[in-house]
Structure 1
């Protein structure tokens, strides 16, 4: 299981998460930091990466082009690299489940924000694995 971190996430995540997500990389390290989303999509597909992003553009590509690659869409506002690291560590089992199920395409992770600082309430409100065939529109992502 290899994660490919989008440019909207810190390259430091690669080394910080190497113990549980070995062989992962960041667009910057691969020289793809200026590449189009479609080029990144193709690279991830050709090299068996799961794309990790905070950007809806890759979700749109799942709808348009299908999968692989699979996608982890982190739907949180501004937060630190440490908070993203904690989130990806805490959802390890869900990420493994996504990687092992070729019938699912997107893991959406979003947080419950209780009006206090994110780092004090870093607990998932919802973590879902969606099959591309169950995705009809963005309303399905809102509970």
Structure 2
């Protein structure tokens, strides 16, 4: 499972879950801010699932369908270690979601 962490999620998430393939957005272009549509295209081209707090990705999926898939954290802003806890707690659900050809968005709550 390949995840790309939106810019509102700290790059430290990668360190908290080192056994997962997590790419922080700031590692794509360290000196340039990427728009949501640029992140969308990168994720689609490179087979990533987007992890985000941002509703805008849901709107992009409504326009363009999927891939990429979206793991939408419906938690409000929480600490990075809490995001890691939520993702690990739902690891099997996320794995099943990524493999599912019918579903484009997985919403996760606290």
Using the size of structure 2 for normalisation, the TM-score is 0.94
Q: 1-side partners of 2:83 and 2:94: how far apart? A: 14
Q: Distance in 2 between matches of 1:60 and 1:68?
A: 13
Pair 1:78-2:80 in alignment = no
Greater relative contact order (Cα < 8 A, sep 6+): 2
Deviations 1:22-72 (A, max 9, x none): 3x2010011176111111100000000000000100011110110000000
Runs of 4+ in 1 over 3 A off after TM superposition: none
What is the match of residue 107 of structure 1? 106
Unaligned runs of 5+ in 1: 112-143
Stretches of structure 2 that go unaligned for 5 or more consecutive residues are none
> In structure 2, what is the Cα distance between the partners aligned to 1:95 and 1:18?
16
Would the alpha carbon gap of residues 35 and 78 (structure 1) be closer, same or farther in structure 2, given more than 3 Å must change? Answer: closer
Q: 1:27 corresponds to which residue?
A: 25
Q: Say how many residue pairs are matched.
A: 109
Query: Partners of 2:15 and 2:43 in 1: how far apart?
Result: 19
User: TM-score under structure 1 normalisation?
Assistant: 0.73
Bigger radius of gyration among the two: 1
